C-alpha cells in the first residue's frame, strides 16, 4: 500500500512540474490549421474543408457526433459530445499523414519530441497496451490545460498511428457556466 501512495505522489509531482513548463508561442498554436478548427462548429468546418466522407453519431470513445474527412494525406475525425448545441469540434483525431504543430502522425516519439520539446507525460505504456506521449498547451486553469494533444504508437520506438487533440478548456468552461 505504501508503494502505491508513493507512486501516486510521484505522478502528482510530474503533473505539477508539467504545469510549470513555459507555454509555447501561442501565435504558433493559433496559426496551426488543425488547431484553428478546434472549437469551430461542424458548419464552419464544412465551409473550410467541404463535405465530409462520413458524418453521424457514434459511441466509440463515448457518445458523440462526428465528421470524418479522408484526405490523401490521411483521415481527420472531428468529434462533438452529443449534448453540445451547434456540434462544436471539441476533439479531433488525426490519422497517419496528418500534421499538427509541425509534426506528422507517423513520426516516432523521438522525432515529435525533437520538434515539440519534452512532453508533459510519456512516452508511457497505457492500459490498452499502446504507448502514449502527451502535450499540454495554452493556459492551465485548476490543473486543466487549454489544449491536450496525445500521440499513440504500438511500441515506444515505432511510428505513431494517431494523434488525439482535445479542447480541455471546453469542459472546464462548461462546468463554470453551469
- Cα torsion 151, 155, 158, 162 to 10°: value is -30
CA distances from 109 to 10, 60, 103, 120, 148 (A): 23, 25, 10, 13, 16
Q: What integer pLDDT is reported at residue 168 of this predicted model?
A: 81
Cα 14 to Cα 154: distance, rounded to the nearest angstrom: 24
Return the closest-CA partner of residue 80 out of 118, 132, 43, 126.
43
pLDDT in tens, the chain (178 residues): 344 333 334 333 443 333 333 344 445 556 788 888 998 999 999 999 999 999 999 988 778 999 999 998 999 999 998 777 779 999 999 999 999 999 999 999 999 999 999 999 999 999 999 999 999 887 666 555 678 899 999 999 999 999 999 988 775 444 344 3
CB-CB neighbours of 58 under 10 Å:
15
pLDDT recorded at residue 128: 92
What pLDDT score does 14 carry? Answer: 41
Q: What does the angle CA 132 – CA 136 – CA 139 come to, to the nearest 5 degrees? A: 165
Sequence-ordered list of residues with C-beta below 8 angstroms from that of 142, at least 6 positions apart, any chain: 172
pLDDT of residue 70: 93
Domain map (residue ranges) of the chain: 2-176
Give CA separation, 172 vs 18, 72, 90, 166, in Å.
Answer: 19, 35, 12, 12
Amino acid at each position: 500500500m505504501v508503494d502505491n501512495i508513493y507512486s501516486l505522489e510521484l505522478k502528482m509531482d510530474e503533473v505539477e512540474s508539467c504545469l510549470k513548463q513555459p507555454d509555447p508561442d501561442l501565435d504558433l498554436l493559433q496559426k496551426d490549421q488543425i488547431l484553428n478548427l478546434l472549437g469551430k462548429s461542424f458548419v464552419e468546418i464544412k465551409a473550410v474543408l467541404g463535405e465530409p466522407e462520413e458524418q453521424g453519431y457514434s459511441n466509440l470513445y463515448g457518445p458523440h457526433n462526428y465528421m470524418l474527412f479522408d484526405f490523401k494525406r490521411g483521415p481527420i475525425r472531428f468529434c462533438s459530445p452529443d449534448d453540445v448545441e451547434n456540434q462544436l469540434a471539441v476533439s479531433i483525431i488525426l490519422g497517419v499523414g496528418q500534421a499538427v504543430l509541425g509534426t506528422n502522425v507517423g513520426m516516432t516519439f523521438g522525432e515529435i519530441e525533437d520538434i515539440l520539446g519534452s512532453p508533459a507525460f510519456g512516452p508511457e505504456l497505457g492500459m490498452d497496451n499502446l504507448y502514449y506521449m502527451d502535450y499540454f498547451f495554452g493556459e492551465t486553469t485548476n490543473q486543466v490545460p487549454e489544449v491536450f494533444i496525445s500521440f499513440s504508437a504500438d511500441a515506444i520506438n515505432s511510428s505513431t498511428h494517431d494523434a488525439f487533440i482535445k479542447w480541455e478548456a471546453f469542459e472546464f468552461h462548461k462546468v463554470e457556466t453551469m
